[in-house]
Structure formats: C-alpha cells, structure tokens
Structure 1
Amino acid sequence: MARSNDGETALHFPVLIGDIGGTNARFALLVDAFGAPKEFPVVQTAEFATIDDALQRCILDKTSIQPRSAILALAGPIQGDEVPLTNCDWIVRPCDMIANLGFEDVLLVNDFEAQALAIAALSDKDREQIGGGDEVFAASRAVLGPGTGLGVAGLIHAQHTWIPVPGEGGHIDMGPRTDRDYQIWPFLETIDGRVSAEEILSGRGIVNIYRAINAADGRDAPIEVPAAVTSAALAGTDRAAVETLSLFSTYLGRIAGDMAMIFIARGGVYLAGGIPQKILPALRGPEFRAAFEDKAPHGDLLRSIPTFVVTHPMAALAGLAAFARMPDRFGVATEGRRWQK
C-alpha cells in the first residue's frame, strides 16, 4: 500500500464518508453515486480507544455492504502517515485501515474543508441569513464554526471549479478592544500566555468567558457546562450568562469579519459547527452583525457581504457526499492525503 500521487480523483463505491470532530464522529455510507447516503448513529469519540475500533464496531459490523473506499474529514492538520486529532485522543493511520479494515482507498481531508465543500451547494432551507448583504454566486466564501474547537476554511471558485482552502484559523490570536474586554481579558484562560480564537469561540470558550466575567466582577461562577451557560443566557436567568452570550456573538462577529476580508468573501460567510444552530436567537440580535461590519476603513465592503448560519444537520457529510459523487466539480488536493492498497 502507498500514498497516491497521481491525478485520479474518483473513488470506488461503496464509499464510507466520515466527519470526525473532537467529541462526535458521524458516518454515512454511499452505496453508489445516485442513492441517498445511509447514515449511522453518532459515535462518541471518548467511548472508543481508537478510530479503527469505532469503525469496526459501529460501522463495519452493522452493515452487510462493506465500503471499498473512505473519505474522512478530520479536526486537525493532515501530515504524514499518522494523523493525531486536535481535540481528541484518536490517531488516524490510513495504512492500518487498509491492512486491517478492508479498505482499498482512504482519503483524508480537513473537517472544515468538508464544511467548505458543503457550502458550495447549500439550499436556502439549509441556511439562515443573518443581517444584510447580497450573495454573489461564483465569488469566494468562508466558513467557520465554533464547536469543540473552532474550524475555519475558505472556498474559492475558479475555472468552473470549487476549491476548498483548509487552514487552522481557529488558532489565530485574539486581543481586547473595548473597555469591557480589558476588564475581563486578564481572567481568561490562555495557552502559553496567549488568547487564541479557539479559547473563546468554542464550547470551552463559552465557559472561559463566563468565568472571566464573574471573576472581573468579583463573583463566583456557579455554572460549569457550556450548554447550561447558553440555556441560562437564552432564558435570561443568569446575568453573567446573558453577557457571555452577547460577548460570544460579538467576538464571533469580529472573527467572521476578519475571514470575510481575508477571502473577500462576497459569496458569504457561513457559520457551521454545533454552537451557532443552538444560539440562533442570540446571533439574530445586533451584536454579531454589528461586530462583523465594524471593520473601518472597509465597513462598506463588510455591509455588502451576507452572513449565514448553516442549519443542515449533517453539512460536512453532505459536502463529502457531493465530492464523492462528482469529484471533478471540486478542486480537492489529494497528493499526500490519499492512501491506496
């Protein structure tokens, strides 16, 4: 078995597609290029020591149709023959999957590269626009998503092809801007002394902001779970939680605006991942869009760019399925990321 460096993009059906995040892994089986994907129950990554064990017990043992190929979207950079995930203990070893699980072909992509593939063809029913701006169809797009971590990717349209641009933009630095930011920033948890976007715009980031607000105000922080913070904020039962969700929306707007400028994303900026769908009422408020547009001297540009929340429940799998069915429609680089028997 070896890495593939040729120009071939098509994979042999049946194809297993998988979206593997820090907490959850989602899988579906494409029997052919035309049928609907067969989805499997969501896998909790913490319940299995290895991805191979999870694949065997939750997928391969549960279907009589065995996949020949696999496309797996991973939360982390893809380098070498052993790929550790950023926010979970699994290590993906494609050679072992081919040797031990019966695959003939394994392709690895970044998890937000898969999200970028999805936003190339989302219908209106699978997204909700937040604020103004008009979508330019064949223009660049950006997608970012707070969940266990913060994923970021771009999508470029060139020569009638959608080209996803993976990256690790969730680890960029964030700094204080307002007086309130300067009050709470000293109390934020850091990584080696710096505040990355992911330390604020993620599940743990919600708790990080909540604790910092309470510490800055000289109060205890009674809530310790991200979902409980957002629930209390949406219900209006905890003052610090309400401010947490307001600041979270503001900070997300700032980073979304940064990505819009980096890619000149006239096709739109898309919020994916688990959190945006859960906090839609907050994102519909003024904070997110105001922060997104507040990019002097380019406020007019930002006001013209639409922002969307992705509401498709399995957007990354939809993106991988679209690529598996029509690989020539997408400019997905496979060199160094594809292993064949």
Structure 2
Amino acid sequence: MAYQNEEVATLKFPVLIGDIGGTNARFAILVDSYAEPKAFPNVRTADFATIDEAIQTAILDRTSILPRSALLAVAGPVDGDEIDLTNCDWVVRPKQMFESLGLEEIVVLNDFEAQALAVVALGPEHMEKIGGGERDEAAGRVVLGPGTGLGVAGLVHARHMWIPVPGEGGHMDIGPRTPRDHEVWPNIEPIEDRISGEQILCGRGLVNVYRAVAKTDGEEAVLSTPAEVTSAALAGSDPVAVEALKLFVTCLGRTAGDLALVFMSRGGVYLTGGIAQKIVPALTNGDFRAAFDDKAPHRQLMETMPVYVITHPLAALTGLAAYARTPARFGVETDGRRWRKG
C-alpha cells in the first residue's frame, strides 16, 4: 500500500480537479501549486451522457488551459479501471480519458475522502459551530453529509500526516428509538427489507420521512421535493414538514454521534454539503445536539466533541487542491487508484 508521503508522486500541473456527486459535478483547474483554483460553473450530471463529454464540453472547451493531470473525487467506491458512481449513470474510465481528454495522469478518490481533506484545508471562517468544546487539533475527525446520498468519511492523524478513511457509512442500518419513531418507522420506504441511513438522511430520504409522517397521521403528502419540504419546514407552514425535518435532524445527530464514537472524534465532527448549509437553523435549535450527545454511558464525552457545519460552497475542491499542492501532508492511498499514460 503506497501512501503519498512515503513515495511522493506530485501531480503534473496544470491539474484538473473534480468533485462528482450523484446530481452535480464541480470542476476547477489548478495551474500551479501557488495559484487559486480556476472554478467553472456546476455541471448537472443528467445533462451529459458521460463524464468525458461533460469535462470536454463544460470545461476544456471553455478555457485555453490544457490540464496534464486530473484529480477526481467520485461518489462511490474506487475499484478497478471502470468506476461506477453510486447515484449516477456515469462511469469513470481513466484509461479512456488519456485518449479522449489528452491527460497524462489520473488519480481517483472517493468524494468524501475529498471532503475529509477539506476539513484541514478550510479555516474557521468557513465553519459554523454547533456546541461542544474546543477541538483537539491532532485528534480524529468525522465528515458526513446528506446530499443525493449520505456520504461518510473519517480522518485520522498519524505519522505527522492526515489520513482520510473513505467508506460507505451512509448504508449503515438506522432504527427507531422513541415511541413516535416506532409509529413512523413502518411507513418509511425500505430497500430490501432494511432502512439504511440513506433512506432517511439525504434529499430523497427527507421526502421519504415526510411521506411516512403523513401516512402515519392519515394526512395527504402534498409536497414532493426535498426543497419543498425544507422550505415549508423552516417557514413553519406545514406541520408534517416541520415534524419530518425535526426527525431528519434528530436522526442525523444520532448517526453523527455514533460515528464520533467510532473515530473518537475529539477533533470534531463536520457536516458538509448543500442540505446541511440550507438547514442550519434546524441544526442549531437543539434537536441535533441533544441527539448527538445522547450516548449513555458516554454523554460527558460526547458533550466535549465539537460539531461544525462546513459553509464553504466548494469544500471538496478546496480539499483536492490542498492535496494537489502538498501531497506529502496527506496519507492518501494511491495503490489501484492512480493511472499513468503509457
């Protein structure tokens, strides 16, 4: 297993960096290790048949800068020469990109690996704190973000570097705790007879919860999109939406607390992505923190752990840029995830 500070293989500039999720893809070009990333407008994955077409049309055709390398973070496990995205039809084929896009070198990471890198690349001005004490700067951290799915990653500090730990934690089981939960849970749509985090803690999950609350109370589910549910809940205009968002935030707090225990996250827990940024008022009203801390017999420990909402709109790109500039700072495993032309 090769880690970047053991065998530093700096990417050749200019570097195309990309954060590719299930719904949107964000790209920038890093001209050299000192320049700020040149960002491009967001790309909707549904608008292009392939990632190669998207990069060519939305990025390369709009600049005179020709990237030599690419550093891509994708929503899904990186395994083999054909990388399927979890919530999108795109398939990343690095060897094909050499010919179609003129690249010489490609590294592909998990998208929440990039979010984990961002945690140490961003300053406090890009974070909003939700309770807890002061973070231990060298302690473990957790990043999670509800979006098209639920992304999860850990970040540990060892051997003088930050090591991101990617995974598929969004697919862990999640169950009811309170009497009200037990009323609502039978009406949450399962996948193959189980309810995972993604059935609740993502955009479609919020709609699932809204419909389940409505069905439990014999009400009509009149809202159909995450944005509608969120807006109605924050405005207090729909009681079903209000309860759905409250349950969403509570379950997010429970899950974040579980992960904090797994990684002993005295360095903080970080909520990222567009949904977290949009529901900051709901995250800071006390329900999230109460659920996060409610981990007997470790409540006192939990109360010391700080939680932050990442407010930077392009956090993953910031993390990727930090890695491209100073790869030796990060213990990123590259075995099986780095391709070189020829």
Shorter-chain TM-score range: over 0.9
Check the 8 A contact 2:29/2:37 in 1, yes or no.
yes
> Counterparts of 1:197 and 1:173 in 2: how far apart (Å)?
6
What is the deviation of 1:124? 1.1
Report the secondary structure of 2:227's partner residue. Answer: helix
Q: Which residue of 2 aligns with 1:131?
A: 131
Check the 8 A contact 2:8/2:328 in 1, yes or no.
no
Q: Which residue of 2 aligns with 1:332?
A: 332
Residue type at the aligned position of 2:143: V
What is the deviation of 1:215? 0.2
- Cα deviation code 1:123-152 (max 9, x no counterpart): 111000001222100100000000000000
> Counterparts of 1:220 and 1:186 in 2: how far apart (Å)?
17
CA RMSD of aligned residues (A): 1.2
Q: Which residue of 1 aligns with 2:10?
A: 10
Check the 8 A contact 1:15/1:30 in 2, yes or no.
yes
Q: Which residue of 2 aligns with 1:218?
A: 218
Q: Which residue of 2 aligns with 1:303?
A: 303
Q: Say whether residues 1:167 and 2:167 are aligned partners.
A: yes
Q: Which residue of 2 aligns with 1:260?
A: 260
Report the secondary structure of 1:189's partner residue. Answer: coil
Residue type at the aligned position of 2:210: Y
- Cα deviation code 1:169-199 (max 9, x no counterpart): 0000001111111101111011101000011
Alignment of 1:80-159 (within 5 A): 80-159=80-159
Report the secondary structure of 2:144's partner residue. Answer: strand
What is the deviation of 1:120? 1.2
Residue type at the aligned position of 1:204: R
What is the deviation of 1:305? 0.3
Report the secondary structure of 2:321's partner residue. Answer: helix
Residue type at the aligned position of 1:277: Q
> Counterparts of 1:94 and 1:83 in 2: how far apart (Å)?
9
Residue type at the aligned position of 1:128: E
> Counterparts of 2:271 and 2:320 in 1: how far apart (Å)?
18
Q: Which residue of 1 aligns with 2:277?
A: 277
Structure 2 unaligned spans of 5+: none
Q: Which residue of 2 aligns with 1:229?
A: 229
How many residues align? The count is 338
Check the 8 A contact 1:9/1:334 in 2, yes or no.
no
Q: Which residue of 1 aligns with 2:46?
A: 46
Q: Say whether residues 1:312 and 2:312 are aligned partners.
A: yes
Q: TM-score, normalised by structure 1?
A: 0.98
Check the 8 A contact 1:175/1:195 in 2, yes or no.
yes
What is the deviation of 1:9? 2.6
Report the secondary structure of 2:70's partner residue. Answer: strand
- Cα deviation code 1:291-318 (max 9, x no counterpart): 0000001111110100000001100000
Q: TM-score, normalised by structure 2?
A: 0.97
